[in-house]
Amino acid sequence: MLPHLPASLRAVAPTQRGHGDSGKPASGYAVDDFAGDLAAFLDVVGIERAVLVASSSAVFTVERFAELDPERVLGLVFLGVPWSLREVPAVRRFLAEVSELTDPVGEEYVRSFVSGTAGKAVPADFIEDQVRESLKVPAHVWRETLEELVEASPPRPGVITAPALIVWGDQDEFVSREDQERLRDAVPGSRLLVYEGVGHIVQWEQPERVAADTAAFVATLERNH
């Protein structure tokens, strides 16, 4: 998605702790830990206020950050995000699988996970990149991160005050339209866009479109400020 954003926007993408080439401590994978990492990251790169983009379960980190430090949030972009993971049967099954993982996590399992969330329109070479990156994640990070995400609470209505753009593909097999509507109702000033024929990770399937809609959303924030 990043190459498709206009040059006028400064866009940065941190690698979450435990993932990629970031540090992999033995603990510290709660949503509050990730929100603290986000604050520290913004400090290091010299960004005082930002539009935060969250895909899938990263929504819980961004929501928490927006609750704790609303003055630093200009706006929010949510891409295929859940309302809550607590009562989702598929997530409970996934947690049971992840609890059995040991190091090194097998490539077959990782490939199945990545392919299962990607959608048919995602190029094969991009899938391979994601598999390679995911193989860097130790078993304890898979386990502890998911355990914490399952316990994360949805936002309380009205607590998040920043305007939000909510993007959802109507072929998403993991999060429902009801989730998007509940989020829209809980965040004043939010707008829901539905992509027909698109699955869970919309920015992988249609990066140009997501980039354009994100840029247009940022432009409205700039006009309002």
Q: What is the predicted pLDDT for the residue at 118?
A: 85
Q: Enter the tokens of residue 113.
A: 């996970």
Which residues make beta-bridge pairs with 55?
79
- The residue written with tokens 């339209």 in the block is 177
Neighbour count for residue 18 (Cβ, 10 Å): 21
pLDDT tens-place string over residues 94-105: 999 999 999 999
Q: Kindly state the average pLDDT of the residues 78-100.
A: 91
Maximum distance among all alpha carbons in the chain? 51
The 8-class DSSP code of residue 157 comes to: T
**Distance of alpha carbon 196 from its chain centroid, rounded?**
20
Q: What is the predicted pLDDT for the residue at 222?
A: 83
Q: Mapping DSSP to helix (H, G, I), strand (E, B) and coil, where does residue 191 land?
A: strand
Q: In the chain, pLDDT over 70 holds for what percent of residues?
A: 100
Q: Kindly state the average pLDDT of the residues 122-148.
A: 95
Distances (CA, A) of 32 to 45, 152, 172, 183: 20, 10, 27, 20
pLDDT tens-place string over residues 145-196: 999 999 999 999 999 999 999 999 999 989 999 999 999 999 988 999 999 9
Task: Report the range of poorest mean pLDDT among 10-14, 74-78, 88-92, 134-138.
Answer: 88-92
Q: Kindly state the average pLDDT of the residues 63-67.
A: 96
Q: What is the predicted pLDDT for the residue at 225?
A: 65
Q: What is the predicted pLDDT for the residue at 90?
A: 83
Question: How would you list the strands of the sheet with 73-79, edge to edge?
Answer: 50-55, 73-79, 164-169, 190-195
Task: Report the range of poorest mean pLDDT among 4-8, 116-120, 197-201.
Answer: 116-120
Q: Are 164 and 190 in contact (CB under 8 A)?
A: yes
**Residue 129 is which amino acid?**
D
Look at the chain and report how many structural domains it folds into. 1
| pLDDT higher than threshold 80 for residue 120 | no
Q: What is the predicted pLDDT for the residue at 98?
A: 95
CATH number at residue 102: 3.40.50.1820
| pLDDT higher than threshold 90 for residue 204 | yes
Helical H segments across the chain, by residue range: 31-45, 59-68, 89-98, 107-118, 124-134, 139-151, 177-186, 202-205, 207-224
For 185, the domain range is 2-224
pLDDT tens-place string over residues 24-55: 999 999 999 999 999 999 999 999 999 999 99
- The mean pLDDT of the chain is 94
Q: In the chain, pLDDT over 90 holds for what percent of residues?
A: 88
